[in-house]
Amino acid sequence: MESAFNVISTDHHSPARTGILRTAHGDIQTPNFMPVATRGMLHGMSLDDAIGCGTEVMICNLHHLNRSVGVDKIQAAGGLHYWMKWDRPLATDSGGFQVFSLGWGMVHGVGKIAGGINARPSESTALATAMATIDDGGVIFSDGRELVRLTPTIATKWQEKLGADIIFAFDEATSSLHDEKYNAQALTRTHRWARECLDARTRHDQLMFGIVQGGTFQNLREASAKFIGALPFEGLAVGGSYGQHAMVETLRWVMPLLPPEKPVHLLGIGWIQDIIHAVDLGVDLFDCVEPIRRARHQHVLTDTHYRDIVPVAKTRGDGPLVNDCDCAACATMTANQIKTWCRAHDRQGSRALAIHNTRMMMRLMADIRTAITAGRWPEWKKEKLQRIEQHQPSVV
């Protein structure tokens, strides 16, 4: 089968590259960023807003779609694209991240990036206190009302029913606090589950991405990159929970071992500096809830970091949130107006910020692609990272 991914241009000083990923619902320029439409909709803004921001692809959450609507109901409605009324590329995760976020992530008190969180020792609490219980065959999710069993085969079949263009293999993402022994056990499961997902496939109009795991251990990450990279996936992803500053180190371990002809997705990462470092190491795709989640908390994405709306409005006044921003919010509203709506808890305020933050992410990715194509990536990267360093985030 012809590859769905083509590299268009490369940087001469790093693995950074641009490309085109072809899907049944259109092409995706890479590097690119996927806003997260968890339950098939975006919090605080419409799909038309997302299109106006330049969004080419979004990612939805299998577990939450099934819980809130039902996979079979969405299939009966014509599939996820028709149900959402979105005719552009879509991705669905496998529910694997909820294995972490509702399991060990709850037990250990850690998120995707563990730095700065008041985490509990991994030996101190049993997984039974969480909402996800893991065994070698899969996971049982419980919210106190019902139990939902998810296995590699079920996750694959459900994603086929939804019909997204990009789907992910079912995996176990460990906590950044897990020791090497537990990570090795989880990696054995993830690798077996990857094969089971491939065996369960019946549709080949979808691109399936295998996920590299292994926690914070170089030997496990490298073993996983070699194993997953050798399987017949159309794309690859790097998952897991990271200690602070460990993401770049993890990518340095795994990226050289992954087949260069396949696109690589870094799951759940959306900070500007992280994206820049990841692109520099050859990553092609990203997703994160951060731009829209931050909007709900009245945070504005500048060209370097997030800031609270109040100091932004104090500085920008009756101008746009960010100088030269071309988003629909900045074109029609002032920073003071948006602040007023936010402080009054008017949804117009959070919608304006969601539009602005999403557009800023799309502009970032377009600027990255332009810099690589024009042969200016090293200079652009250095200048951008220096500006980020000079303007340390006031919102964390």
Q: Is 287 an active-site residue?
A: yes
Amino acid residing at 253: W
Q: Specify the domain boundaries for CATH 3.20.20.105 within the chain.
A: 5-288
| β-pair partners for 148 | 141
- Residue 112: predicted pLDDT: 44
Q: Which fold, 5-288?
A: TIM Barrel (3.20.20)
Per-residue CA distances from 150 to 10, 70, 132, 168, 358 (Å): 40, 14, 10, 14, 32
DSSP run (H or E) holding 215 = none
Encode pLDDT of 258-311 as tens digits. Answer: 999 999 999 999 999 999 999 999 999 999 999 999 999 999 999 999 999 999
93 labelled catalytic: yes
Residue 330, helix vs strand vs coil: helix
Average pLDDT over residues 209-220: 95
Closest by alpha carbon to 176, among 95, 94, 245, 93? 245
CB 228, CB 240: distance < 8 Å:
no
Taking 90 as the threshold, does the pLDDT of residue 122 lie above it?
no
Q: Cα–Cα distance between 241 and 218 in angstroms, integer? A: 14
Kindly name the residue from 11, 165, 274, 287 that is annotated as catalytic.
287
Cα 144 from Cα 146, distance rounded (Å): 6
Q: How many Cβ atoms sit within 10 Å of the Cβ of residue 250?
A: 23
Contact 186, 213 (CB under 8 A): yes
Q: Are 264 and 258 in contact (CB under 8 A)?
A: yes
Please tell me the pTM assigned to this model: 0.91
Indicate which residue of 93, 171, 274, 280 is catalytic: 93
Portion of the chain with pLDDT greater than 70, in percent: 88
